[in-house]
Amino acid sequence: MTPSLLHQILDFANRADPYPIYEELRKTPVHHEGDGPYVVSTYYEVRSLLHDPRISSDARNLASTTGDPLTETAPEEGVLPPSFLRLDPPEHDRLRRMTNRSFGPPHCPHRVDGMRGELHGIVSGLIGDIGDTGRIDLVDQFAYPFPVTVICRLLGVPREDEARFHVWADTIAASLDPDPDADPTERGRSAHDARMQLGMYLAGLIEERRRKPGDDMLSELATAKGPDGTMATMELLSTAALLLIAGHETTVNLVTNGMLTLLRNPDVLERLRADPRLAVPVVEELLRFEPPVQLVPQRTTLTDVEVRGVTIPKGASLWLVLASGNRDPQRFENPDRFDPDRKDIQHLGFGSGIHSCFGAPLARLEARLALSELARRLENPRLLEDPPPYRQNAVLRGPRHLHIACDGIRP
């Protein structure tokens, strides 16, 4: 008996290449099996629903009778209140506005771009510390430590405490992987303990920043008094935890998937080595071609919603398959071809609508710097394993390890 498309998406055996399954899925733009979720996979429909106010991100609106086989655990679940990622307007809008005052235009227009030099220094240091070029794990030695270090610097975590964040973030991120071989009780306990320790640490850091603010983002969040007032301590804790976890997990996948794709397309890698400016379209095409977030499973309908002749009932679980929409031939010509020269790359890699990726400007800058420097400095890089071993998670899809070799490292 052939497994259902839903189970094929979740089946780890298909993690290395889920795109043929998405192609089959698009034949039924609104796919529904039994009492499971409604799965939407075509570009225009996914994009429309991401902007639809009848679609909720608040799990409390999910009908208890749904049989959704995939439950995405929030980084702060069970310890902190939901972050704005899992709220609807007006609560979402208020918290996102307050957070953005410390992150981007118009109040902090140079927050991200001002980190360019520091980011370049982190990238250079990690590449310089690679050591044995005969076997490099690009995830453990580069793609993972880079964004964790960056988000710690952005929030204002003291450098001597960065290692502690690495451990907490790794434990919490591991809990998101539906690993069938792991003890769920032990994984849950470990993740809960990590969230507790993270919350307690952040609470102490917030109090310290309130007494003696610096020029970091956490200080501004803790002391700012804008039109929306001051963020409550628990709201600030959940926001900081969200920025920490979400701020590095997707970037790890973006950088790793990016280098894997470049090594599979050596002509583009050579062009990037010769012209670092190509990093801009390369990263945009990567966000379409190999998005770090494959699907958004935590949406719920607030009322009956009709999509392509199918009525999705109120309270239903809704999955929006971003990666499938990004390969929809009705939207993109030759969608399975990696082509940074595309004239129109309006991808869904960062989602869309009010929940579009908050950290997109930083993620773009990190990926551009990382990939251009790797292309420039690694001499004759090559894959040692293809496909590489993947993480279990079907939502945050990316290699768990990416083993490569090169002939040397340029200064």
Per residue in 383-402, pLDDT (tens digit) is 999 999 999 888 999 999 99
Asked whether the beta carbons of 36 and 334 are under 8 A apart, the reply is no
- The C-alpha atoms of residue 171 and residue 318 are separated, in whole angstroms, by 28
Give the residue with greater pLDDT, 248 vs 26.
Answer: 26
Report how far Cα 291 is from the mean position of its chain's Cα atoms: 8
Average pLDDT over residues 17-36: 95
Most confident of 87-101, 195-209, 223-237: 87-101
Mean pLDDT check: name the lowest of 109-118, 177-186, 207-216, 273-282. 177-186
- The torsion angles phi and psi of 48, rounded to 5 degrees, stand at -60, -45
Asked whether the beta carbons of 110 and 118 are under 8 A apart, the reply is no
pLDDT tens digits for 224-281? 888 998 899 999 999 998 888 887 889 999 999 999 999 999 999 999 999 999 999 9
- The C-alpha atoms of residue 83 and residue 235 are separated, in whole angstroms, by 7
Asked whether the beta carbons of 169 and 148 are under 8 A apart, the reply is yes
DSSP conformation letters of 152-202:
HHHHT--GGGHHHHHHHHHHHHHHTS--TTS-HHHHHHHHHHHHHHHHHHH
Q: Phi/psi class of residue 353: alpha, beta or left (left: φ > 0; alpha: ψ in -120 to 50)?
A: left
- The C-alpha atoms of residue 410 and residue 231 are separated, in whole angstroms, by 47
Q: How far is CA 83 from CA 36, 198, 241, in A?
A: 26, 15, 8
Report pLDDT for 82.
86
Question: Which residues contact residue 239 at a Cβ distance below 8 angstroms, ignoring those fewer than 6 apart?
Answer: 83, 84, 95, 99, 221, 231
- Sign of the CA dihedral running 319, 322, 326, 331: positive
pLDDT tens digits for 40-49? 999 999 999 9
Average pLDDT over residues 119-146: 96
DSSP conformation letters of 72-103:
PPPTTTTTSPPPGGG--TTHHHHHHHHHHTTT
- The C-alpha atoms of residue 71 and residue 59 are separated, in whole angstroms, by 10
Report pLDDT for 70.
59
Terminal CA-CA length for the chain = 56
Report pLDDT for 106.
82
- The C-alpha atoms of residue 60 and residue 68 are separated, in whole angstroms, by 14
DSSP category for residue 293: B
Confidence at 74, pLDDT banded by 50, 70, 90: very low
CA atoms within 13 Å, Cβ hemisphere of 219: 13
Q: How far is CA 20 from CA 13, 25, 111, 327, in A?
A: 13, 9, 40, 10
- For the cut 50, the answer to whether the pLDDT of residue 88 exceeds it is yes
Domains with residue ranges and CATH for the chain? 5-70+91-409 (1.10.630.10)
- For the cut 90, the answer to whether the pLDDT of residue 346 exceeds it is yes
CA atoms within 13 Å, Cβ hemisphere of 107: 14
Give percent above pLDDT 90 in the chain. 68
Confidence at 73, pLDDT banded by 50, 70, 90: very low
Smallest Cα–Cα separation from 171: which of 183, 155, 159, 188? 188
- The C-alpha atoms of residue 43 and residue 344 are separated, in whole angstroms, by 14
